Structure 1
Amino acid sequence: MKKSLYRLMLELTHNPLYTVLLKRFSQGKLSRRVIPSFSKAFNINEEEIEKHVSQFESLSDFFSRKLKEGSREISESARDIVSPVDGVLTEAGKITKDKSFFVKGHRHSLKTMLGLDTSVKRFAEGDYCVLYLSPKDYHRIHSPCKGKITGRWALGKYSHPVNALGFRFGKEPLATNYRLITELKHDEKHVALVKVGALNVNSVHPVHVEESIDKGDDMAYFSFGSTVVLVFERNSVRFHERVLQGELTVKQGETIGTWME
């Protein structure tokens, strides 16, 4: 019952006023009282959290929790690409010739999502995968590979839910919601990491500002559950077979594919 209530509170809203109130509550000290109940309802592994649940100042603080060092194993192979988040890898596939991709049967425009013509041209007919984070998941976003940051930009203002209702009633939520985009260059291959906000609040917060980044480095965090889209250049990545089957639960740092030679 509590789990259903929490999920309803965090995922099923299109009302801006409700979301503002939810944001204020989750950031207020009063919300710390629900953290133990929230953690239990979603069966969150408290053993891997960097600090005890009693030390978090608010529910929002708990959402952006850090993990103990070594909680996630990350491949040391330079060819391996790892998941940037804990969540469900819902879809993976090819970007079409008309620069679009499909999520839950709904067409999304690469141009709308990325905005920059140079990036749209770069990733046309490339590959993509979508990772969805639910309220129970670890909400920090890490780099899927080692590389150099070639671009950072933000697009969008309003954020629809990114769950089933969001896809049913929203218009290309992954391409139109508020989103922070980071473009990386690994050797001569590029990847765009699109961090998509959820609900009516812009819930994506960057933490990495340097020009270079290592695989597994902390990049940003979500205040609420949301979605990350990875976009790769044509003929640059080979996803693992289990990734292509969709609906795969993954942990941050887990290998999802390899760079093609």
Structure 2
Amino acid sequence: MSWPPPARVALVLALLWAIYVLVWTPGPLGLRLLGFYPKRLGSRVVGWVAARPLPASWRDPLLGGFARHYGIALSDAEFPLADYPSLQALFTRRLRPGIRPQDAPTDGYLNSPVDGRIIASGRIDAGTAIQAKGLPYRVAELLKHERNAGRFEGGHFLTLYLSPKDYHRIHVPLEGRVTAVSRVEGELWPVNDASTGSVPRLYERNRRAVWMAEGTGACEGLEVAAVLVGATHVGGVVIDPRWLGGRTLPRDGGFPVDALPCVPGDDLGTFEFGSTVVLLVGGPRAQAWTPLRTEGAVQVGQRLGACR
């Protein structure tokens, strides 16, 4: 069979790309093979399927089976399982009122914005933070549309991973004023232990949304960025509409927010399926801020750190 010249060129390019993915992409073979998978298209398809309404008779076997497989605590959910019309509705469920109380305010406090697991933490040094296993990434590139990333120099980063079993809403971690929001278009690599330990600059490369705030009251002198990092099948990283003022975030860009007041526990955003939140703590008092939790499981409202 004779291939026309354009087809031959495409075939050669495809083979070269396959060799690159298999040989030069770090990490387990399965992660390398994921280089062939159309991650954006796959994420759109999965998102569309997850949002399809299910007949009432299907909800217990499908949603219930999914919840049992991943260990989702349905007793914490706001509504009974049968009231969730789709898989997406179950994932973006709210919790029963009062089930996640916020820890009491103290000097320079910061409470967890999510239910999840702290997988990395440390000082921001020379504009870099650590992803995992010594892999650095650039804070300025992570924020991208925030011009003054230097305000986080010498501060702290905490990375919180959300698994499929976790509650997928993100909440405000401090008392303050919201100053900016943005969105960064990017890739959709998985964000799990294998990926974070193998894919360089993963958080810089993936799709993400950024929420910025400066502290007031007990949190005066702190500045916080919450970066919602998307992943494969987690293309939906959604900033709550209250911070947008009726505007729509651009596909790759952002805008300032007119110092809207916020308190711990307010809605900040939502993940459509699980992923990762990177918290950056900066500002004039960042040197005095000390993390109280640097690894392990954490729930919304639990104290992450305070000024000492």
Supply the distance in 1 between the matched residues of 2:273 and 2:234 (Cα, whole angstroms). 9
Q: 1:201 to 1:90 in 2, by over 3 A?
A: closer
Q: 1:199 to 1:174 in 2, by over 3 A?
A: same
Deviations 1:46-79 (A, max 9, x none): 2221111111111011100001111112112143
Q: 1:66 to 1:237 in 2, by over 3 A?
A: same
Q: Does 1:204 align with 2:237?
A: yes
Aligned-partner residue type, residue 225 of structure 1: G
Residue 223 of structure 2 aligns to a residue in which SS?
strand
Q: Does 1:249 align with 2:297?
A: yes
Find the counterpart in structure 1 of residue 104 from structure 2.
76
Residue 60 of structure 1 aligns to a residue in which SS?
helix
Find the counterpart in structure 1 of residue 77 from structure 2.
49
The answer to which of 225-234 and 111-120 deviates more is: 111-120
Mapping for residues 134-153 of structure 1, pairs under 5 Å: 134-153=163-182
Aligned-partner residue type, residue 108 of structure 1: Y
Alpha-carbon contact 2:212-2:225 (below 8 Å) kept: yes
Residue 203 of structure 2 aligns to a residue in which SS?
helix
2:206 pairs with one of 177, 181, 189: 177
Alpha-carbon contact 1:15-1:200 (below 8 Å) kept: no
2:287 pairs with one of 224, 235, 254: 235
Greater Cα radius of gyration, structure 1 or 2: 2
Supply the distance in 2 between the matched residues of 1:196 and 1:118 (Cα, whole angstroms). 19
Q: 1:238 to 1:51 in 2, by over 3 A?
A: same
Find the counterpart in structure 2 of residue 193 from structure 1.
226
Supply the distance in 2 between the matched residues of 1:117 and 1:223 (Cα, whole angstroms). 24
Residue 287 of structure 2 aligns to a residue in which SS?
coil
Residue 181 of structure 1 aligns to a residue in which SS?
strand
Supply the distance in 2 between the matched residues of 1:59 and 1:76 (Cα, whole angstroms). 34
The answer to which of 139-148 and 22-31 deviates more is: 22-31
Q: 1:118 to 1:235 in 2, by over 3 A?
A: farther
Deviations 1:131-190 (A, max 9, x none): 000000000000111110011111123221111343355441212211111111112221
The answer to which of 114-123 and 185-194 deviates more is: 114-123
Q: Displacement of 1:43 after TM fit? A: 2.2
Find the counterpart in structure 2 of residue 5 from structure 1.
none
Q: 1:117 to 1:218 in 2, by over 3 A?
A: closer
Structure 1 unaligned spans of 5+:
1-11
Q: Displacement of 1:116 after TM fit? A: 4.1
Mapping for residues 54-69 of structure 1, pairs under 5 Å: 54-69=82-97
Supply the distance in 1 between the matched residues of 2:78 and 2:186 (Cα, whole angstroms). 33
The answer to which of 28-37 and 250-259 deviates more is: 28-37
1:29 pairs with one of 53, 58, 68: 53
Alpha-carbon contact 1:158-1:201 (below 8 Å) kept: no
Find the counterpart in structure 2 of residue 259 from structure 1.
307
Residue 274 of structure 2 aligns to a residue in which SS?
coil
Alpha-carbon contact 1:208-1:218 (below 8 Å) kept: no
Supply the distance in 2 between the matched residues of 1:224 and 1:147 (Cα, whole angstroms). 28
Find the counterpart in structure 2 of residue 124 from structure 1.
153
Supply the distance in 2 between the matched residues of 1:78 and 1:120 (Cα, whole angstroms). 26
Aligned-partner residue type, residue 188 of structure 2: S
Supply the distance in 2 between the matched residues of 1:179 and 1:45 (Cα, whole angstroms). 27
The answer to which of 117-126 and 47-56 deviates more is: 117-126
Alpha-carbon contact 1:83-1:251 (below 8 Å) kept: yes
Q: 1:75 to 1:117 in 2, by over 3 A?
A: closer
Mapping for residues 3-42 of structure 1, pairs under 5 Å: 14-16=37-39, 17-30=41-54, 32=59, 34-42=62-70
Q: 1:220 to 1:66 in 2, by over 3 A?
A: same
Find the counterpart in structure 2 of residue 4 from structure 1.
none
Alpha-carbon contact 1:112-1:176 (below 8 Å) kept: no
Q: Displacement of 1:119 after TM fit? A: 3.0
Percent identity, aligned pairs only?
27
